[in-house]
Amino acid sequence: MAKYLHRDISWLSFNFRVLQEAIDPSVPLLERLKFLAIYSSNLDEFFRIRVASLRNLARADKGTLKTLDYSPEQILHEILLIANSQQKKFSDIFQKTILPELKKNHIEVVSWKNLNKEQVDFVDTYFNEYLLPYVQPIILARRKIKPFLNNGALYLALHIQSKEDQKHVPEYAIVKIPSDHLSRFLELPSKDPKIKQIIMLDDAVRHSIRLIFPGYNIQNSYSIKLTRDAELYIDDEYTGDLIDKIKKSLNKRSIGIASRMVYDRTMDKQFLQYLMDVFEIDELDLLPEGRYHNNSDFFKFPGYNLSHLKDASLPPIRLQEMEDAASIFKKIAEKDQLIHPPYHSYESVIKFFEDAASDPDVTHIKIIQYRVARISRIMNAMKEAVKNGKQVSTFIEVKARFDEEANLKWGEELEKAGVTVFYSMPGFKVHSKLALIRRLEDGKPNLYAYMGTGNFHEDTAKLYSDFGIFTNDKRLTSEAARVFTFLETKQRPLQSFEYFGVGLFNLKEKFISLIKREIDNAKKGKKARMILKMNSIQDTEMIDLLYAASKAGVKIKLIIRGVCSLIPEQKGLSENIEAISIVDRFLEHSRVFIFHNEGKPEVFLSSSDWMVRNLHFRVETVFPVLDPDIAKVIITCMNIQLNDNVKARILDSKLSNKYKRNNGDIAVRSQIETYYYIKRREETTILADQNIEN
């Protein structure tokens, strides 16, 4: 009996849950297209990071492989089988469901073979005026001519034949589909103004490519794409200039070795073998797809203001007592405040920083930035605070994957504005979501903290479901201050952490002690319960501890969005563990840990999942929810999710992803239920405040 699922196989199961949203007929049509885009984007990143890493391991010496408890080559084969199966389903969904339903709604995606005369002239004109500078035609000659294919760029591989060749010797060529410069979706002239007709840029190139090969007949064309290894290989993080090393590694990322060649599965074997020879690709590097690749471009599919084909609007709920407060700090001093974006507006977090920047009594502002919005009012507030004489410092993690370049740019911009910027720690990532403000009140310094499960990112706050707490509680603010002191000085705090669990100090130990307390209670015959919500769980020590808790009689409910290496409900191992995953319109991102504690529930929020990287190689934080009213709200939200019978999938050893159904009379879609629960709660708070004022 297996004890663990391999993380990458489990991840593919998660990505299939995303694909299920594209299959679900109850999801509005354009939202289904969006989920196809998310699935595709996820898979690209997976191949650039995880599959590239596995390939490197598979090619490593046997001595290295002896240290692993799995075969990288076997996992690679499993991944390719699963990904190939999912890609076939993807193509079926798009061709047999999405395209016909778009047509019913008067949006037609037209094949290049079905263009009328007016459209042929239009596409040829567009090709000559806009596409021609970018297509970069190259005739191939096996390994004599090996063009470099840009990572993630689309290309057409052409089977061509000279019109003068009487022997019919096949020749091959490559042209670029310039979707990085031009829209992937080209609107065609239509005879019926009520019908929108679109041609994919790929097909526009297919149609007009004959214009730049006048001496050849185009026998066939197939789209291909190379995905390149995106890992930053930094030989030594501990010596020299780490930032300079990261910059140099970023320059090499776009030319990393190929980790995948995606190709049209209708391509004949002879042509495919020819391309494998040209680009030095082996079978482990191949992934067949449909006619179109880079389907993340569906994020930009034209919607034509057809609101009925999109999700109904859920306007973010104003946290009115915070957003309208004359002094946000006075409001926090009265009582800890909870924010639950995207249900709540993110405006109160922004106000926290903007008010601090202009408040004459604020002396210091500190913040940890893991991912930063391209246009950020929070970052602008940091710059404004410096102008107003505040001491402002920010820790920027420049090893945040795919955000390294953006974070470096923000760091440079903040430094120019006078902000003190601290960068990545060698060997570790800093993933905590903390901010701290020092304010003079009655001549004495007072600390205010924001502690959250998500990044200070105004854009993702509209899509990611997270919790954050504003607090003036000295038990918490003093420990938050110690985290910042460590990041700024690199010296261990003189005082230990009592309330916080902090990565590199006591994070894992904090989680272990809380679980062991429930185990002890169960062994004494007391009621023992845990509700654990994370993005991912993979650390085998934590999984084994949950198995031990299950055997002791602790009832455990897991809500895991992504990787779940733990196998629930296995006889003799995990009979008391139930696990679900929720994939819906918002990305479930919060980490919540609830322990029964003999009927006195303790609630914790965290930046940390239970992955090896989080628990051992990152500065993460877990912190208690000390305000009982906030704890009740969070428990209610978790119970709503556990009762989801619309978007929850059951996690099991077979990776079946069956929807959770029950005999309830009412359909419970947890994200919608949560929205209206938060809305009712805020309206009740407003009415209560009005009654107090009256």
Catalytic residues: 431
Distance CA(221)–CA(209), nearest Å, equals 10
The two tokens of residue 670 are 């947890």
CB atoms within 10 A of CB 226: 21
Residue 228 sits at the vertex; the CA angle it makes with 223 and 233, to the nearest 5 degrees, is: 175
Total residue count of the chain as it appears in this document = 694
Contact 138, 174 (CB under 8 A): yes
What CA–CA distances, in Å, run from 195 to 16, 189, 198, 203? 33, 10, 10, 19
How do strand 391-396 and strand 420-423 relate by DSSP bridges? parallel
Contacts of 600 (CB under 8 A, 6+ apart): none
Distance CA(267)–CA(451), nearest Å, equals 53
User: 354 by DSSP, 3-state: which?
Assistant: helix
Question: Which helix or strand (DSSP H or E) is residue 286 part of?
Answer: strand 286-289
E-strand spans in 432-576? Answer: 434-441, 444-452, 464-465, 468-471, 501-502, 529-534, 555-560
User: 228 by DSSP, 3-state: which?
Assistant: strand
Contact 434, 394 (CB under 8 A): no
Question: Which helix or strand (DSSP H or E) is residue 199 part of?
Answer: strand 196-200
Can you name the residues that pair with 430 across neighbouring β-strands?
Answer: 619
